[in-house]
Structure 1
Amino acid sequence: MTTLLVGTDQEATSHRLCDYLEDRIETVETLHVVNSLKGGNDDAKVAAGQAALDVFTDRFGDRIAVETHQYTRGNDATADLLTAAREFDVAEVVLGIDQKRTQVNKLIFGSVAQAVLLQTDRPVVGVPLPPED
């Protein structure tokens, strides 16, 4: 049995990550799910982040331990995910990969998944997210 860390930013991402995890969930003991809001004092963003976290509890909470964590402490998502991976001693990090970003957007805004991949000592799984209509 393993412990996984999942990073999510919205409900649609959560549903896609849950679909990916469905085939693997029986091998998971604890699922830590992180939603990171830099300066998350905006009530609407906090509520949306909580809804994204609730998807995992609703989907898997009756089968495994699901621990949700919403961070609003001002760190960027990369720092929060790396800290959580160490703190919870996870075996793997699971993130959604946005495939529609342009090279310029990646250069200017960065990529949380890329930064986590380059900075962690744990395996990272990138789950492709479908393009938004």
Structure 2
Amino acid sequence: MDACCGPPDPTRYDAVFDERFARHVARRYGAKGPTTVERRLLEFVVDSGIDGASVLEIGGRVGELQFELLARGAARTVNLELSHEYEAEAERLIAAAGVDGLVARTVRIDLALQPGSAPGRTSSS
């Protein structure tokens, strides 16, 4: 990727996808569940067969789709995320959903800048 988009520093996403935005996403999901677009995606994936599947989501924010897929039969999920700011809300929702051990999150990975590598912190809850 050329220099037009800034230096290859994954922490720059924390300013855009910040803690306030993460709280908003988590509150909205807690109050209303999946968005219309998320419900359509869930319907498609579930109809295609999700029972026992391992799911990879890139850019899963606080994990809304992952929680829904686990509730519908997925065995485990992995999320690759740019911003570390989602993690506190994600951990809170993981605990509330009782899916400890079924969700793995890797943060501060930018596949566009570092294809084939997985820098950052990995946590399995």
TM, length-normalised to structure 2: 0.35
Which structure has more relative contact order (CA 8 Å, sep 6+)? It is 1
Q: Which is strand-richer, 1 or 2?
A: 1
* Structure number with larger C-alpha Rg: 2
